[in-house]
Amino acid sequence: MAEMGSKGVTAGKFASNMQKKLTRAQEKVLQKLGKADETKDEQFEQCVQNFNKQLNEGTRLQKDLRTYLASVKAMHEASKKLNECLQEVYEPDWPGRDEASKIAENNDLLWMDYHQKLVDQALLTMDTYLGQFPDIKSRIAKRGRKLVDYDSARHHYESLQTAKKKDEAKIAKAEEELVKAQKVFEEMNVDLQEELPSLWNSRVGFYVNTFQSIAGLEENFHREMSKLNQSLNDVLGGLEKQHGSNTFTVKAQPSDGAPAKENKSPSPPPDGSPAATAEARANHEPEPAGAAAPGPALPKSPSQPAEASEAAGGTQEPGDTAAGEAASNSLPAVVVETFSAVNGAVEGSGGGARVDLPPGFMFKVQAQHDYAATDTDELQLKAGDVVLVIPFQNPEEQDEGWLMGVKESDWNQHKELDKCQGVFPENFTERVQ
């Protein structure tokens, strides 16, 4: 009995959703054809334009800020490797070795502190600021649907009023539906009319605080880094004074019975000779790992797929593999990680055929926030729910920012698309497949 009752409720909900979608579709068609007037609110439409502009600006700022942080991290790694190189070449008996080591440690700590403060005072604040937009965006889309419902109820009531043969019972019911639709619409409209201008005005203070924080942190970082560089310069100046000249000769005991040879510099070989080339490489640039046997050119960008390299260069020789590994090791850690991640995404994209999926399946999304359904045709989502996205039967029914789908758990359990499908806000989810 309980199961039959549950099926009855589901069937009733499905019928109600279909009727509502049909009514909205008919109303939109009539409005597009000019056979029905559409309620307009120019002031609200301007608020929506400002909202979309503010969201786009904030999203771009967040993206650029993440790029800036990635660059700071890459510069930190490069600076750390440079200091490690200094420690390796700084011989134990040279004066100032301990001071140089301490300066390198402080340099590393200063970079770490700078990066962490940028995350805390800029990036996290940015994430909090943008976190309020998804909910408001979904409410704007829902207001649009409720406005269509209100217009439809109004036109239905007006048609009954002007009919030649009036049915008082139908008129009374239509009036009741009109009052209900108007109340729901006005409640949402009033809230958004108050929130959107307030959100728009808050952008100035947010931009000021964000860029002031970044500027202040960068100023303090460069001031402290300047002090460390001055200290390192003093240490190296002391090392230079300790050794009178800029050249350090290796003292060796002459062999018994042989006179000491005069220390003369050999004459340079003529331009273009092998010796000149070898010396130039030794003094100015490292010898490539694959110099003995030139291989195919390396990719221009770390994000270039591995398959493209294989197609262009054919079978890779062992020497080419060594050259590629050497080039990868020479990149900053951030770039190497990005290269690996992109390659992994490309290599792992060749999955098997899709089976046991609803008709018209397009892709999967995962809910990032809870969403409480406020209409019979909407899905109830919890953070972490996976939704199988399918196309709308009638594309004209799709509102901007909304998708049609069925929760994966419901589909696996029932396999009944008509009873489980519903709409949900796209900005509450993230695409996973």
pLDDT of residue 131: 94
**pLDDT value at 301 more than 80:** no
**pLDDT value at 320 more than 60:** no
Number of C-beta neighbours around residue 165 at 10 A = 4
Q: Which of 155-159, 190-194, 238-242, 303-307 has the lowest mean pLDDT?
A: 303-307
Q: Which of 64-68, 76-80, 259-263, 352-356 has the lowest mean pLDDT?
A: 259-263
pLDDT of residue 163: 80
Percent of the chain predicted with pLDDT > 70: 66
pLDDT of residue 272: 44
Percent of the chain predicted with pLDDT > 90: 40
At the fourth CATH level, the homologous superfamily of domain 19-245 is Arfaptin homology (AH) domain/BAR domain (1.20.1270.60)
Residue 270 backbone dihedrals phi, psi, to 5 degrees = -65, 155
Band (pLDDT 50/70/90 cuts) for residue 287 is very low
**pLDDT value at 175 more than 80:** yes
**pLDDT value at 343 more than 60:** no
* Residue extent(s) of CATH 2.30.30.40 domains in the chain: 363-431
The long-range contacts involving 342-351, CB below 8 angstroms and separated by at least 24 positions, are 342/302, 342/303, 342/305, 343/305, 343/306, 346/305, 346/306, 346/307, 347/306
Band (pLDDT 50/70/90 cuts) for residue 10 is low
pLDDT of residue 108: 96
pLDDT (tens digit per residue) in 180-223:
989 998 998 999 999 999 999 999 999 999 999 999 999 999 99
Are residues 376 and 17 in contact, defined by beta-carbon separation less than 8 angstroms?
yes
- Higher-confidence residue of 213 and 15: namely 213
Give counts: helices (H), strands (E), the chain: 12, 5
- Higher-confidence residue of 282 and 226: namely 226
Are residues 421 and 404 in contact, defined by beta-carbon separation less than 8 angstroms?
yes
User: What integer is the mean pLDDT of 343-367?
Assistant: 66
pLDDT (tens digit per residue) in 225-254:
999 999 999 999 999 988 755 554 544 454
Q: Which of 71-75, 240-244, 319-323 has the lowest mean pLDDT?
A: 319-323
For residue 381, the 8-state DSSP code is B
The CATH fold of domain 363-431: SH3 type barrels. (2.30.30)
* Residue extent(s) of CATH 1.20.1270.60 domains in the chain: 19-245
Band (pLDDT 50/70/90 cuts) for residue 85 is very high
pLDDT of residue 311: 41
pLDDT of residue 261: 41
